[in-house]
């Protein structure tokens, strides 16, 4: 009988051929190997071929929103820990090992979700903007850490959650296109604590870089308010992606 994995990595993907291979490579390089990778995919570019090359389990779904994609992955996941990771992240090599060690430590049994420290993915930034985005990243890091002690944790992008707590709190609300994580994690927070660990992930600031930090921040702010109070928010972001040179 096949042993169930400890970690289920769930990646929502839509036309991420320029990004997803970097993420998958960083997963394959993890020192901890007891995991499965599930991609919920609705792409029309070369993303499915890239995922196939990396032997990733793919669930083909209609294009709706990231909430629906994450829910499709969660329903198929077998692991005790659900890693909800966006396609444009890059993981530090020992991250999975640190996550397992943290969750298996008895004093952390009340923790239901942990998040690694965010760092910049420089590929999407112009050199003249790097210092500005380093400062923004530090502010976001601080905001996240403080928020984890409130009832509305600012968790997003790369989160490791106890599967039993996720099932108890309920799935993502598919009526929410943006800031779906705010509403979801506010429910999960009622069941336990959120913590940040010292290991890092590199995250993309492509939307902030292209459309401006103020505009992007305002959209997310109004989306978060709507998600928390009306439990619905419909908004389609314009796709912002770097050019893809090759599949691998």
Q: Is the pLDDT of residue 209 over 90?
A: no
Is it the case that residue 104 has pLDDT exceeding 80?
Answer: yes
pLDDT at 247: 46
List of E strands, the chain: 7-13, 35-41, 57-60, 81-85, 90-91, 111-120, 158-162, 193-203
Helix (H, G, I), strand (E, B) or coil at 34: coil
In this predicted structure, what is the pLDDT of residue 244?
Answer: 65
d(CA 103, CA 109): 7
Pull the structure tokens for residue 193.
């604590």
pLDDT (tens digit, 9 = 90+) per residue, 109-138?
999 999 999 999 888 888 888 899 999 999
Looking at 34-38, 70-74, 220-224, which range is the least confident one? Answer: 220-224
- The pLDDT of 91-120, averaged and rounded, is 97
What is the band of 212 on the pLDDT scale with cuts at 50, 70, 90?
Answer: confident
How would residue 241 be classed by pLDDT, with cut points 50, 70 and 90? confident
Q: What is the DSSP letter of 110?
A: T
Q: Of 6-10, 128-132, 226-230, 244-248, give the lowest mean pLDDT range.
A: 244-248
Name the helix (H) or strand (E) containing 237. Answer: none
Residue 236 — very low, low, confident or very high, per pLDDT cuts 50/70/90? confident
Q: What residue ranges do the domains of the chain occupy?
A: 7-229
Chain segment 53-91, per-residue pLDDT in tens:
999 999 999 988 999 999 999 999 999 999 999 999 999
Average pLDDT over the chain, rounded to an integer: 93
- Summarize the confidence of residues 164-177 as an average pLDDT: 95
β-pair partners for 91: 201
Cβ burial, residue 19 (10 Å; 0-12/13-18/19+) = buried
Tell me the average pLDDT across 87-109: 97
CA angle, 19 as apex, 15 and 24 as ends, to 5°?
110
**pLDDT band of 245, cuts 50, 70, 90:** low
Q: Which fold has domain 7-229?
A: Spore Coat Polysaccharide Biosynthesis Protein SpsA; Chain A (3.90.550)
| pLDDT at position 126 | 84
Residue with tokens 């944790």: 153
Output 246 or 218, whichever has higher pLDDT.
Answer: 218
Residue 246 scores a pLDDT above 60: no
pTM (two decimals): 0.93
């Amino acid at each position: 009988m096949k042993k169930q994995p400890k970690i289920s990595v769930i990646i929502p993907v839509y036309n991420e051929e320029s990004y997803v291979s970097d993420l998958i490579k960083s997963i394959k390089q993890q020192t901890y190997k007891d995991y499965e990778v599930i991609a919920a995919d609705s792409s029309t570019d070369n993303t499915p071929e890239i995922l196939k090359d990396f032997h990733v389990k793919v669930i083909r779904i209609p294009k709706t929103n990231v909430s629906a994609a994450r829910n499709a992955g969660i329903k198929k996941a077998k692991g005790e820990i659900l890693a909800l990771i966006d396609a444009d992240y890059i993981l530090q090599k020992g991250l999975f090992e640190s996550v397992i060690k943290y969750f298996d430590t008895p004093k952390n049994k009340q923790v239901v979700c942990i998040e690694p420290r965010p760092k910049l993915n420089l590929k999407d930034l112009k050199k003249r903007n790097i210092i500005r985005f380093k400062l923004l990243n530090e502010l976001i890091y601080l905001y996240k850490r403080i928020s984890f002690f409130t009832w509305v944790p600012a968790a997003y992008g790369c989160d490791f959650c106890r599967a039993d707590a996720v099932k108890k709190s309920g799935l993502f609300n598919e009526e929410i296109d943006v800031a779906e994580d705010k509403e979801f994690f506010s429910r999960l927070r009622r069941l336990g604590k959120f913590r940040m660990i010292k290991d890092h992930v590199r995250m993309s600031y492509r939307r902030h870089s292209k459309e401006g930090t103020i505009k992007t921040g305002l959209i997310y702010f109004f989306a978060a308010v709507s998600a928390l109070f009306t439990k619905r928010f419909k908004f389609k972001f314009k796709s912002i992606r770097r050019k893809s040179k090759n599949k691998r």
